[in-house]
Structure 1
Amino acid sequence: MTKRRRTVVVLGFIFALVGLLGFTGATPAAHAGNAPPVFADGHGLTVVKQPWWVDGAERTFKFVVRTVEVPEYSTMAGQNSGEHVIMVTLPEGYDSSGATRYPVQYHLHGHPDYPDTALNQQMFEESTAGGVPLINVAPNGSGRGWYTNWVNPPAALGPQNWQNFHLDQVIPFVDANLRTIAARQGRAISGHSMGGFGAFHYAQSRPELFGYVGSFSGGLDLLNQAQRAAVVATTQLPGSGTPTVAPDAIFGVPVWPLDTVWNEKSPAQHVESLRGMGVAMYTGNGGNLADNPPQALTEHVARETNLVTRDNLVAAGIPHTFIDYGDGSTWAEGCNGKHAQPACLKADMNHFVGLLMKELAHP
């Protein structure tokens, strides 16, 4: 979740928003001693690099897969097109030799970011410290994947079916290889920025999969013109991945009357399928505009999209948690209400995990 963009007068505001609004059957594997799990191919995924621990704490590991649903993709620095890094944090004391099974939280990163950031690892490990029995999984969504099946993917890349990859392949693959509670009541999804959009979109598309959904400063309203402009801008920025793609590649033409897909996939206007699911949204107001204007403006727009979503949830009578922490001063030490502020995101995750553990099935 970076904050670099070109400064052309007309596009400056849009590019500032783009920086982060996203607008970040096998036998269950054992976790024994120093050995990370070993995964078996399946559910359309081929393991090209087996899990390895990221550090000596031996709680978080990464592995790499390939899939025909996204055979190639626009890459950012350090990525190999077609190879998808997935990061997993296990609960303290995880051991597949017994009968214990755990709920899973899938967390989707923002734009333009990676699943295996140090911040994600910190959020996962800190929010589950002290024996919280929760597995966290962060799949690759690329710099501009937008957690959807693209309408017009470029021929050079092939299909960009990110939704199919995550929902039809990653979830059952994780269930097959780890000791999970492989049911709706044992599964949650969350995300930051672009990932917040993805979390709501996935939960609305497949409500039978998730018992809880959470958005951390997500861009939830694709009818919001600033949000829409930011999505389009991500297609044109090399920093979001190369090669760049056509403006209509992801959701189709963004202009009425050809913007049907944009309207259909906008989470803010399609809340009904969330009924019966736990729902939580977190947002600041950007704080002091003079302090880091790009992130302040980005969070301001994200908040507007969250307010529309909140209003529609209220109108539909759907219970939810909405945390509007303003400039962050009362939310967490070091939180300043900005879009990608680590202290704010850690507080979001800590609160969200608390909600999950009250509602999801767990040991």
Structure 2
Amino acid sequence: MLRLPTYEGTLKDYALTGDPLSPRAPEISLTRTAFAAAHVISDPMAERDPWLGRPAVDWDATLNFRRTLWDQGLGLAEAMDTAQRGMGVDWATARELIDRTMRDAKAHPLKPRVACGAGTDHKPLSELTDAEAIIAAYAEQMEAIEAAGGQLILMATRALPAIKAGPETYASVYDRLIEQAAEPVILHWLGDMFDPALTGYWGSTDVAEATEIVLDLITRHAAKIDGIKISLLDQAHEEAFRARLPDGVRLYTGDDFNYADLIEGDGTHYSHALLGIFAAIAPAASQALEALAKGDTETYHALFAPTVPLSREIFKAPTQFYKAGIAFLSWLNGTQRHFIMPAGFQSSREITQYAQVYRLADQARLLSRPDLAEARMRTLLALHGIDG
């Protein structure tokens, strides 16, 4: 029993309900492609300059976390914003992460799919003032990822909105990038709720206009595009968008609010998944997707339904701080020994939210080691001056 803070400014008793899900591999092949976007685990003992220097990474823990996802039949989206790209993790660290992850993935018995984020974050915006410079920056990261054996995700870059690029510039940049990729790529449309610097992506602040721009790009390059990840937190938009995609091009939902309905689909179209929340809810995600593959929609919704309030809490506004909730659950579940993040990002959320995440994770059967979770929550409360 703990006394947890509430959003009403009170302390309220809470006892864990128990009954956690046991992580396991799916019994049959999944009918949806599911990438979990995983975070990076810090090494506090090696950290020396957390706000200004390169992050110190606990490579053993970081890679072991990825193995737990693969063991449950999930793919991996590597070195994305979940891993704090551009928010504490630099390209040099991301490149090492990609190289290490790809070596591990090739050795894993399930041979999991791994897609890796290519961007322009190794160059300051002051050097990315035209299309050619942006293309060259992307190309450098793309070559490194392909050399490691990863599939390419063309991450949204802050450089294009920074130069106020119009639709023609976006088209010229992405035409070149897609053409030079060795294999089909995944596009990336990340809304400004995740990163305000991406406002006006695709050359317009009007979502309907931006939709036409990117659909035209996809239609022109359909053979070289595996799919597009859309993270706009707008279910109706995603449903309309995926219905217009060329045959063979996937919609990878990045909607951490409405993923259950989007992945199930409407009987004609459905979304695949490329989600940060899947790293935090892996047992429920894996077993729900297994149930869907078996045609058991009742179990599918029973497993996913309680994870949705948890995901909405973790991704609440300001949404760009969601990564703290994912690392917090990793700590509660013992997949990391501390709650320290690159650049001290754990301080981006308040104790009241961590208390609510604790409650909701328990109710979603996602605290795999209840005794450990309670002990660690008690420690965090004490650090905030709360006698749990």
TM-score, scaled relative to structure 2? 0.32
TM-score, scaled relative to structure 1? 0.33
Instruction: Kindly indicate which of the two structures has a greater share of residues assigned to helix.
Output: 2
